[in-house]
Amino acid sequence: MQSMATVGIFLFSYFLNIIGGLTIAVIHHPLRKGQPMLRRISPALCLLLSAMVIVAVSSPMSVDAAEPVKLIYDTDIGNDVDDTMALAVIHALQNRNECELLAVTITKDNPYAAPMAVLVNTFYGRPDIPVGIVKDGVTKDVGKYNAEVYNTVDEQGNRVFKTNVTPEMYAELPDAVAVLRKTLAGQPDGSVVVLQVGFSTNLARLLDSPGDDISPWTGMELVEKKVKLLSAMAGAFVDRLSEHREYNIAMDVPSAQKLFARWPTPIVYSGFEIGEMIQHPGLSMRNEYNYVDYHPVKIAYHFYRGLENDQPTFDLTSVLYAVRPERDYFSLSEPCDVTFDDAGRTHYQFNPNSRNRFMTVTSDQIAMVREALCQLCSEPPKE
């Protein structure tokens, strides 16, 4: 449509200029009826009319594309398959130039977690995204699917997924805090969205980090300067879950308490109830990932959830809001202060002076989000 309009504008402009140079226009004088007078249309007037037409026709179509959202993805990949699915959604959105994945930092302290993240990044054509790992973190078990996906072999017994990070390299991988500091220091002020869909360990430690050879600024100062939003899958914000110890909080309560009390930018929480209400259909996983023989997301889903079962979209919802906040996929609460007690339970109090909110959804939004996530999560790698 836009190219056709451009051609039309050009032809109309060209036609007007020919008229201005060669044509005699017949115009009826308003004071002497029936007596036409001859006037030459000025070339300058034609150029002016041509410019006016170009502006009038092209202005509604000249919409500047939004800058891709700069993302840092902090994840406990391997504890639930939604972390891997959310990473797939990020890559689909980056394929569409809607976001840019700057780094992945991991809060699951197991040697297969970083290889799994790199494996997924490599599958989607981005093997060189920096990855940092937690040191002395929680959940040291391997989980249900990281090792299985990493060790998948074909019919000839060859490993299917190639990565430049292996479990044997675990001790040599960079600390997540160093990766976070370096990534933030290299970005424009107020440009980064941090996605936390795991534990609060890495980000709490970031806030405590001093200036160093990466940046003279402390971690708190880097966040204040560089981050515009923290989109967190954390907590629970409905009455029926008042006693619920949401997993991402409960696994490292001290870090969560520190992080959410001190974080200096706006926070949007996707509570447990959001992902619970929006289920990713197993039917999609069975039918829409078969464009390759071995799909890491489908294999992970098989080992964790089972292809016959639906899966809560916990972490995926935080990604979708972070990249498309204006699309009305979710509603937001009134501003509120959020705290977590020593058991990991969520407490909140509305406060008009707070910068923080939690997400809510209607039945219509649930259907819209489910469809959007099905399409994004199953999108093939960019060729």
Residue range 272-298, pLDDT digits in tens: 999 999 999 999 999 999 999 999 999
Give the residue from 65, 66, 75 showing the smallest Cα distance to 319. 75
Q: What's the pLDDT at 383?
A: 84
353 CB neighbour count, 10 Å cutoff:
6
Instruction: Report the phi/psi class of residue 34: left, alpha or beta, with left for phi > 0 and alpha for psi in -120 to 50.
Output: left
> What is the spatial distance between Cα 236 and Cα 345, in angstroms, rounded to a whole number?
8
CATH homologous superfamily of 69-377:
Ribonucleoside hydrolase-like (3.90.245.10)
Q: Which two tokens stand for residue 315?
A: 């972490």
**For residues 374 and 285, what is the distance between their CA atoms, to the nearest angstrom?**
9
349-374 mean pLDDT:
98
The band of 123, judged by pLDDT with boundaries at 50, 70 and 90, is very high
51 touches 16 (CB < 8 A): no
> 192 - beta bridge partners?
70, 227
Amino acid at 100: E
The residue with greater pLDDT, 217 or 36, is 217
Q: What is the pLDDT of residues 150-173, one digit of tens each?
A: 999 999 999 999 999 999 999 999
Residue-range domain boundaries for the chain: 2-61, 69-377
d(CA 208, CA 263): 11
Q: What is the mean pLDDT of residues 247-269?
A: 98
Q: Please report, as a single letter, which amino acid is at residue 152.
A: T
Least confident residue range of 8-17, 81-90, 161-170: 8-17
Is residue 347 within 8 Å of 334, Cβ to Cβ? Answer: no
Length in residues, the chain: 383
Residue 214 has pLDDT above 90, yes or no: yes
pLDDT band at 3 (very low <50, low <70, confident <90, very high): very low
**Closest by Cα among 207, 210, 217 to 187:** 217
Residue 81: which residues within 8 A CB-CB, separation 6 or more?
A: 145, 297, 300, 301, 304, 305, 311
Question: What distance in Å separates the CA atoms of residue 236 and residue 249, rounded to the nearest whole number?
Answer: 10
pLDDT in tens, 42-74: 444 444 434 443 333 344 433 456 899 999 999
All residues at 6 or more sequence positions from 319 whose CB lies less than 8 Å from its CB, including other chains: 86, 89, 90, 93, 195, 197, 231
Q: Give the pLDDT score at 51.
A: 42
- In degrees rounded to 5, what are phi and psi of residue 209? -75, 140
Q: What percent of the chain has pLDDT over 70?
A: 83
Res 320 pLDDT > 70 = yes
- Asked if the model's pLDDT at residue 249 lies above 90, the reply is yes
Among 26, 158, 184, 164, smallest CA distance to 105 is for: 184
Token representation of residue 170: 């675990």
17 vs 198: which has the higher pLDDT: 198
Instruction: Name the pTM for this structure.
Output: 0.84
Asked if residue 315 lies in contact with residue 197, where contact means CB atoms within 8 angstroms, the answer is yes
| Percentage, residues of the chain above pLDDT 90 | 82
Estimate to the nearest angstrom the gap between the alpha carbon of 104 and the chain centroid. 12
CB atoms within 10 A of CB 366: 17
Question: Order of strands, edge to edge, in the sheet holding 192-196?
Answer: 131-138, 99-108, 69-75, 192-196, 227-233, 267-270, 357-360, 331-332
